[in-house]
Amino acid sequence: MAAKQRAVLGGGCFWCLDAAYRQFKGIETSVAGYAGGHTANPTYEEVQTQTTGHAEVVQLTFDPAIITYKDILEVFWAIHDPTSMNRQGNDVGEEYRSIILYANAEQKAQAEASCKTAQKLWDKPIVTQIVLLEEFYQAEEAHQDFFAKNPHLGYCQAIINPKLHKIQESFVKLLK
């Protein structure tokens, strides 16, 4: 039995990534949080000021015998625009940047290779940062599993639902 692994990714609002990755077999936990910055234990309000350097991210715990890191990265490239600097749709700011935070040399190599493959799908250059994960900070409880708790909110309907539909069409074999 393979040991559980972790992946930390940011691609816009963490509510979107969290809702998306919860759809897949092998994802055991998805935790919204902050990473890639320079302030210890940042709050949502602090991250929103764009003074902490953090991105909104999700930390996934997954079973690589069911879903691989490569699969997780393939989904990542498909559910956000990695060519948009510090922006996803109407969400603007460095906290919404596209970022992969790797845990080890193997994840770094896979992320870099995956980025090269994904670039073939985009006309503009991919601006996703691929950096070493130094620290992950869990976001406040209100941000955990946000979509499931608030499915009828306008943001969830207008932004998250279309991403979930795209996943359901594109990644059928990986879905729960």
Q: Give the phi and the psi of residue 33 in degrees, each rounded to 5.
A: -170, -160
Cβ-contact 17, 66 below 8 angstroms = no
Of the candidates 164, 132, 110, 42, the residue with the CA atom closest to the CA atom of residue 32: 42
Element (H, E) at 91: strand 91-92
Residues 51, 47: Cα–Cα separation, whole Å:
7
Which of the residues 13, 16, 115, 156 is marked catalytic? Answer: 13
Active-site residue, 156 included: no
Give me the active site residues, please: 13
